[in-house]
Structure 1
Amino acid sequence: MPQDMGGPTGLRVMVTGAAGGLGRAIAEALHAEGAHLVLTTRDADSLPRAAAGLDRGPEVVTAVADVTNDVELAKAVELATARLGGIDVLVNNAGVPGPAGPAWENDAAEWWHAMEVNLGGALAACRAVLPGMVERGRGRVVTISSHAGHTRWPHVSAYSVSKAAVNKLTENIAIELLPHGVTAFSYHPGIVDVGLGGSAAPVQDSDNPWDRRIVSWLDAQREAGKYVPVTEALGNLLRLIRGEADTLTGRYLTYEDDLTALTAATGRG
């Protein structure tokens, strides 16, 4: 297991897709707890949004790094190493919803793009960050996943399949990283009113009837009280980042899980 890196205070955490939505919420929570941040966004125009209001306290480094661009990711890690000395925790947050509708009717390129971003992007960020973690003999990777990847989400197959693949990627790299003191988790934060689940999601005014069907389903979940407050969604994520559940490496975990009980059940907590 990794060496204890303590709580978020002083940790150097890289968050991909940090310009808004859940990524921005993660950045704010970590910054409030004293973590130094490396925030990546897809383009230069969104960099100011990522760092807005985080100009006091721990250092915040921003970098343009599309997760489908290995060169940009490598440069972001180089910048983080120069400014902060390295990265202790990677939060793979960048993602896209992919097309809606029957899989055989989806645009093939759009369907595959969701795989390239959600799965390929997570792997690319790992390729950029993990060599430094392995060299130091410690580190954590938390990849944002979804219940749609744990079970299924018909008519949103690209998103569902990509998140299922993320879960399996996590299981595999966690075993590969065991000798190096680095842990890996996939984490489902629940349906939150930011990002893909937000009321201002891009599909809100779509001409695609399947997109409107997703909006209707999300509205029904909100009315049924199944949305998760962002602070609650971040609770277990922050615990994973702190290292409180390192013995659960490789697991798919959710905002609902009792991490204390699960850790104790491993017999090593």
Structure 2
Amino acid sequence: MSIYGNRFEGRCAIVTGGASGVGRETAARIVAEGGKVCLWDLDADTLADVARAIGASNFQAVDVSDHEAVTRAANASAEAMGRIDILVVGAGITGATGPVWEFPVDSWRRVMDINLNGAFYCCRAVVPHMLKNDYGRIVNVSSVAGKEGNPNASAYSASKAGLLGFTKSLGKELAQTGVRVNAITPATFKSPILDQLPQSQIDYMQSKIPMGRLGEMAEVASLICWLASEECSFSTAATFDISGGRTTY
């Protein structure tokens, strides 16, 4: 049994972006606390190894930018696990870096397709399964960039800002049901996603954090798991910061 207990016993979760980073960390934590997890990720080669390593009950290679594929995956996950109680939307990319007037159009579209459209597709497909049991917890992983906007990261910042607005809308639509919907806005934390960025961009983001360090994946996963638990009963359509003091609103 986990040192945190079995608060997810009997609960079934989908974690997108589950093959690495905070998605993997969160999925492992849910499993350690008694839950079942289906991992979704585009990285099919890694998924099986990760699922075996953390004890996930199921995994599916899913391109979250394909709404039909997402719907099929949601139905298959519900059938495999018996129900869906938790959705953690962690799949995301940074896209290109550069000023708006030079930003590649293809990169802009891909970032929006995965970070924002993908979140919409996932929630659209999963919510009906949650409503069957009048219970659910949805956690959308946004970013402080969605609040403040990072220079030379317009697509990423815009997609994460859109995700906050989407979370607020969906949370209010479901407020009188048993489904809670919240978002988190981490500052930069140690994750494979940083491999997509130049060091200068990482240094800039770290310089904005009053604590003077990057966050740890375990710290982010801890917040996600509280929001994914039954303990989170009176918070919905809300944004939770985990930024080392960077965000103040």
Aligned counterpart, 1:247: 234
What letter matches 1:231 in structure 2?
A
2: CA distance, partners of 1:110 / 1:189: 23
Counterpart check, 1:228 vs 2:215: yes
2: CA distance, partners of 1:147 / 1:65: 26
2: CA distance, partners of 1:38 / 1:171: 25
User: Structure 1: where are the runs of 5+ without partners?
Assistant: 1-5, 204-210, 258-269
SS class of match (1:235) = helix
SS class of match (1:53) = helix
Check the 8 A contact 2:41/2:63 in 1, yes or no. yes
What letter matches 1:249 in structure 2?
T
Counterpart check, 1:152 vs 2:129: no
2: CA distance, partners of 1:49 / 1:144: 24
User: Structure 2: where are the runs of 5+ without partners?
Assistant: 1-5, 245-249
Aligned counterpart, 1:261: none
Aligned counterpart, 1:13: 13
Deviations 1:184-210 (A, max 9, x none): 00112332211324xxx133xxxxxxx
Aligned counterpart, 2:31: 31
Normalized per residue, the structure richer in helix is 1
2: CA distance, partners of 1:103 / 1:42: 28
2: CA distance, partners of 1:223 / 1:236: 20
Equivalence map 1:27-176=2 (5 Å)? 27-55=27-55, 60-176=57-173
What is the deviation of 1:222?
8.9
Equivalence map 1:199-210=2 (5 Å)? 201-203=195-197
Could you say which structure has the larger radius of gyration?
1
Aligned counterpart, 1:260: none
| Structure-2-length-normalised TM-score | 0.88
| Structure-1-length-normalised TM-score | 0.82
Aligned counterpart, 2:3: none
**Identity level (%):** 30
**In 2 relative to 1, CA 221–227 (structure 1 residues): closer, same or farther, beyond 3 Å?**
farther
Deviations 1:140-183 (A, max 9, x none): 11000100101211110100010000000000011111233211
1: CA distance, partners of 2:214 / 2:208: 6
What is the deviation of 1:219?
6.4
Structure 1 residue corresponding to 2:184, chosen from 187, 194, 214: 187
Counterpart check, 1:177 vs 2:174: yes
1: CA distance, partners of 2:137 / 2:106: 32
What is the deviation of 1:256?
6.4
Check the 8 A contact 1:235/1:255 in 2, yes or no. no
1: CA distance, partners of 2:243 / 2:206: 21
What letter matches 1:190 in structure 2?
A
SS class of match (2:213) = coil
